Structure 1
């Protein structure tokens, strides 16, 4: 098992044979009204790891990924938190109007830019009825000015400052994620290559 805290660039490794397998009844099960036998979906199932073996990870490790396999898939130290700089809306590259929405329905809100290596990242809020309705993202090649990636996010928008980009997985393109809060389940990690599908994170996010 490989546990990677990408915000701190800390990787911990454990042998599965050394870990206890455990199943805990979910706190959302009403033990007074709901009597055994319980369904397997009523349990939280995983491996028990002494918290002393994970110093600095904390109770709520929101910037941590776990992989079970023979080799770690993670590339360490090449993922960056995006630090956005506010720009005037006129400097946001055009070309997305009409593809995802009718431009006349929205006004352009705050726009932001981030640069790293050979890539430029642009983000812009789309405003409707005085509220941010969506956020669009455009990634450009600084040298060729060609579009590398584009997306529009419309649900549970995460605040600026929670986005990450860079190399995270071996033998995979650069990634980008952190634009949405997911109420149930987990956000997928998007790859900055149109031919590659996003990497889905499996998690237990019940509430």
Structure 2
């Protein structure tokens, strides 16, 4: 079965990120993702910051400054639980490894509805979430902050239209972003056009698939031009990216992926939702003097929370077979 080959590879990929290097990132905006952990009682939101136990911190010159290993080393139950609340005596080790202070705030920004929520770090608990169901130790856990469901609106869905930032002040401009409305066009180079903020957004897609009639168009490339036809941004799908579907509906889903506008204070307009990298929507400034690497995307797909009961149940029913 294909699953037999995929699962070990995925596990090795996750474990390969048990060592993090945290450098001089003050000039970057670190953006995280808010994950809904619904396979837990009670359910809760989780902002993943670190994976694994061996955290190496470097100074601005790239020299090793500090090594923290492990974060919580003396569990008496041999890491049998899927979730732990980090004991207070290890909290500072986690904060140091994450580059976070108790005086910081965790900002949750829903850009679809232009709503900002703020939570003092000093009031948030730190959790360790198990990454898989195999015999494990600390390096198989993901560390981050937890939010109770009642700390956000009851119908809140963080999966598609939320960014998280941790710091003293919110970087979000809180100016309503524009969901791009695509119109199909007849052009030799482009398939679709949208207009916003006096700019023209051209893109081409992979189109319909000859072997899959239900295939929904996905982005292959984007060009943004001003009213003088000058190219301000030219972005093409690469091996580092995955393409995302266009805004709109297919027969089963409604997509709200491509947005543009002033997302950050004191920075140019952005556009995002055409491509993803490690599960993060790639954010581009529509200004060549502001490279995209000024944004450090940390909302990656390495957040994994498996239900061991479900895993074992599927194994018993031969849906998952072991070697």
Give the TM-score band, short-chain normalised: 0.7 to 0.9
CA shift, 1:192, in A, is 0.8
TM-score, normalised via structure 2 length = 0.50
Which residue does 1:160 correspond to in 2? 246
Q: Structure 1 stretches of 5 or more lacking a match?
A: 93-109
Check the 8 A contact 1:126/1:135 in 2, yes or no: yes
The number of residue pairs the alignment matches comes to: 179
Give me the CA root mean square deviation: 2.5
Runs of 4+ in 1 over 4 A off after TM superposition: 129-134
Which residue does 2:185 correspond to in 1? 87
Question: Any residues of structure 2 matched to 1:1-207 within 5 Å, and which?
Answer: 1-26=106-131, 28-30=132-134, 34-35=135-136, 38-40=137-139, 42-55=140-153, 56-58=155-157, 61-90=159-188, 111-125=191-205, 135-142=220-227, 144-154=228-238, 155-161=241-247, 162-182=257-277, 184-198=278-292, 199-206=295-302, 207=304
Per-residue CA deviation, residues 44-98 of structure 1 (Å, 9 max, x unaligned), is 211121111111323x5221111111111001133111111111114x5xxxxxx
Q: 1:8 to 1:64 in 2, by over 3 A?
A: same
Q: 1:125 to 1:188 in 2, by over 3 A?
A: closer
Check the 8 A contact 1:119/1:141 in 2, yes or no: yes
Which residue does 1:107 correspond to in 2? none
Check the 8 A contact 1:175/1:192 in 2, yes or no: yes
TM-score, normalised via structure 1 length = 0.76
Q: Secondary structure at the match of 2:122?
A: helix
Name the structure, 1 or 2, with higher relative contact order (CA <8 Å, separation 6+): 2
Per-residue CA deviation, residues 135-164 of structure 1 (Å, 9 max, x unaligned), is 22111111x221111111145321111211
Q: Which has the higher helix share?
A: 2
Cα separation, 2, equivalents of 1:190 and 1:200: 12
Q: Structure 2 stretches of 5 or more lacking a match?
A: 1-105, 212-216, 248-256, 305-323
Check the 8 A contact 1:126/1:136 in 2, yes or no: no
Cα separation, 1, equivalents of 2:296 and 2:124: 25
Q: Secondary structure at the match of 1:180?
A: strand
Q: Highest Rg: 1 or 2?
A: 2
Q: Secondary structure at the match of 1:83?
A: coil
CA shift, 1:186, in A, is 2.1
Q: Secondary structure at the match of 2:150?
A: helix
